[in-house]
């Protein structure tokens, strides 16, 4: 498994997704909550945190260009909820990465136990027939 190349490709796809959504967010008058779903593909917690930070900053920077037709409190609430959604999603993605890592460790342990038991059976079988 080549996780370095896969991680780089995943990070690139996530950055492209964030850029595309950011472009749509920029063009809409009220903006949209930029989703962190792209980070669910990222296999590292630090990268997920970095992605959440960047997306949060971009969401907050959009406040500078909020249309004057919309009351400021609506724009602030919209951005506040967007940042909350971003970080809740990031936390869930980090938990998924941690759980996946734990499952891999448990799986490796079970595989070792199976191999050890199979070897013990081979030895017993060999002793019975020789």
Please provide the size of the chain in residues.
130
Residues contacting residue 44 through CB under 8 Å, at least 6 positions apart: 7, 97
Q: Is residue 118 part of a domain?
A: no
What global pTM score does this model have?
A: 0.61
Instruction: Round the average pLDDT of the chain to a whole number and report it.
Output: 79
pLDDT digits (tens, 9 = 90+) for 78-98: 888 888 888 988 898 899 889
Q: Which domain holds residue 12?
A: 3-96
Q: Is residue 107 part of a domain?
A: no
Structural domains in the chain (count):
1
pLDDT digits (tens, 9 = 90+) for 41-53: 677 788 888 888 8
pLDDT digits (tens, 9 = 90+) for 101-124: 999 999 999 999 999 999 999 999
Closest to 4 in 3D by CA, of 44, 39, 37, 52: 44
């Amino acid at each position: 498994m080549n996780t370095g190349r896969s991680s780089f490709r995943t990070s690139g796809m996530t950055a492209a997704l964030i850029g595309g959504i950011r472009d749509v967010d920029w063009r809409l008058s009220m903006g949209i909550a930029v989703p962190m779903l792209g980070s669910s593909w990222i296999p590292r917690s630090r990268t997920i945190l970095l992605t959440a930070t960047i997306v949060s900053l971009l969401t907050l920077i959009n406040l500078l260009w909020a249309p004057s037709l919309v009351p400021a409190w609506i724009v602030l609430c919209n951005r506040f909820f967007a940042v909350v959604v971003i970080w809740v999603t990031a936390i869930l993605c980090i938990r998924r990465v941690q759980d996946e890592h734990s499952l891999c460790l448990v799986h490796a342990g079970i595989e070792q136990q199976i191999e050890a038991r199979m070897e013990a059976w081979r030895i017993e079988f060999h002793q019975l027939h020789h």
